[in-house]
Structure 1
Amino acid sequence: MVTDSRERMVRSAAYLFRERGYSGTGFRDVIAHSGAPRGSIYHHFPGGKAELAEEAVRYAGEFLNAGIQAAVEAGDATAAVEAFVGWWRHVLVRSEFRAGCPVTAVTVEAHDDAPQLASAAARAFDLWEDTLATGLGNAGVADDRAARLARLIVAAVEGATILCRAHRDVRPLDEVVAELKSLVAASV
């Protein structure tokens, strides 16, 4: 029961960071969204908001990576790109372009007083890149090229997501995906 409350708070923080960012999300927001008991947040996160954010970034990174992993297991390199992008497309449209990536939201607001947030974000991005690179390698892309393509995919999709939010349109993401798929297909 206690772990469930902690997990709900972590998921809620990740969800709220997508729309409000790190600075725009307070403990009260997380409590209200998660339905967790009021005093439990300090019990589970004695390190404060930075500790909660670090856990939310880890959760978001692993959640998205599970989808990437499932796609790369099929051995189709372009399917991995589609899986990574499909999630963001869904989030953008469903939220009417209010929600983005919680990892990016925490990254751009990381402060010197909480260096663990940048480290947590780097680990999430690295996880996605490693999973994509493995999938690209299994599909026949040379290892060094697979690693560079994986980084390009993550950077391009994260950037395209930001453009989509600004323009309130999925076209930037669709255009980036078309180019990425062409690059990946040419590399196999």
Structure 2
Amino acid sequence: MGTDSRERMVRSAAHLFRERGYSGTGFRDVIAHSGAPRGSIYHHFPEGKAQLAEEAVRYAGEFLNAGILAATEGGDAASAVDAFTGWWRQVLIRSEFRAGCPVVAVTVESHEDAPQLAAAAARVFDRWQDTLATGLGNAGVADDRAARLARLIVASVEGATILCRAHRDVAPLDDIVKELKAMTREAVDSA
């Protein structure tokens, strides 16, 4: 049982959490979605569903963070916003508004018996904020303002994603993108 089946299960869990949530996704679902052998899930995740969820949150966080890093290398503050929002827009449209953020799904459904899930989600949110803040700083935004704007970007996009799903429309995301870009440009101009 190689790491390939393990990685497929982690990716599948992240995908399923986006659409079904943490509570609505079971091991059987992950096995069926990933095509992994049934016994392999217990082999790779002996601590159970919380261990799988923690890995899925980490995977989702790294996946999106890599996109943010690539887009912010140019030093344009608006690219930081585009990097974080463009992927969510595609996910919403392609899933017909069924999918959201797997990190949010695990966060809101974290249970007291699995505190590591909230901690894993917090690390992902912090990482996204740090990467965005670095990109904004490289574009000329003062460090303290870049950190606040990065937190605002993450919070706004996550909230807009929820609104988009509720309304089955990308207008909430498009609206915050316009405002966030204006704010980041203003922050560069005032630096």
Q: TM-score if structure 1 supplies the norm length?
A: 0.99
CA shift, 1:137, in A, is: 0.4
How far apart, CA to CA, are the structure 2 residues paired with 1:74 and 1:5? 36
Instruction: Tell me the equivalent position of 1:50.
Output: 50
Instruction: Tell me the equivalent position of 1:90.
Output: 90
- What secondary structure does 2:113 align onto? coil
How far apart, CA to CA, are the structure 1 residues paired with 2:156 and 2:63? 19
User: Which ranges in structure 1 are unaligned for 5 or more consecutive residues?
Assistant: none
Runs of 4+ in 1 over 3 A off after TM superposition: none
Once the two structures are superposed, the pairs formed by residues 5-20 of structure 1 within 5 Å of their partners are: 5-20=5-20
Once the two structures are superposed, the pairs formed by residues 2-151 of structure 1 within 5 Å of their partners are: 2-151=2-151
Once the two structures are superposed, the pairs formed by residues 154-165 of structure 1 within 5 Å of their partners are: 154-165=154-165
Which one-letter code corresponds to 1:84 in the other structure?
A: F
Deviations 1:101-137 (A, max 9, x none): 0000000000100000000000110110000000000
- What secondary structure does 1:75 align onto? coil
- What secondary structure does 2:112 align onto? coil
Which one-letter code corresponds to 2:108 in the other structure?
A: V
Q: TM-score if structure 2 supplies the norm length?
A: 0.98
How far apart, CA to CA, are the structure 1 residues paired with 2:41 and 2:61? 21
- What secondary structure does 2:25 align onto? coil
Deviations 1:86-113 (A, max 9, x none): 0000000000000000000000000100
CA shift, 1:83, in A, is: 1.3
How far apart, CA to CA, are the structure 2 residues paired with 1:26 and 1:105? 14
* Cα RMSD (Å): 0.6
Which one-letter code corresponds to 1:78 in the other structure?
A: A
Deviations 1:13-55 (A, max 9, x none): 0000000000000000000000000000000000100000000
How far apart, CA to CA, are the structure 2 residues paired with 1:139 and 1:104? 28
Instruction: Tell me the equivalent position of 1:177.
Output: 177
User: Which ranges in structure 2 are unaligned for 5 or more consecutive residues?
Assistant: none
How far apart, CA to CA, are the structure 1 residues paired with 2:21 and 2:122? 17
How far apart, CA to CA, are the structure 1 residues paired with 2:96 and 2:121? 25
- What secondary structure does 1:140 align onto? coil
How far apart, CA to CA, are the structure 2 residues paired with 1:79 and 1:142? 17
Q: What is the number of equivalent residue pairs in this alignment?
A: 188
- What secondary structure does 1:68 align onto? helix
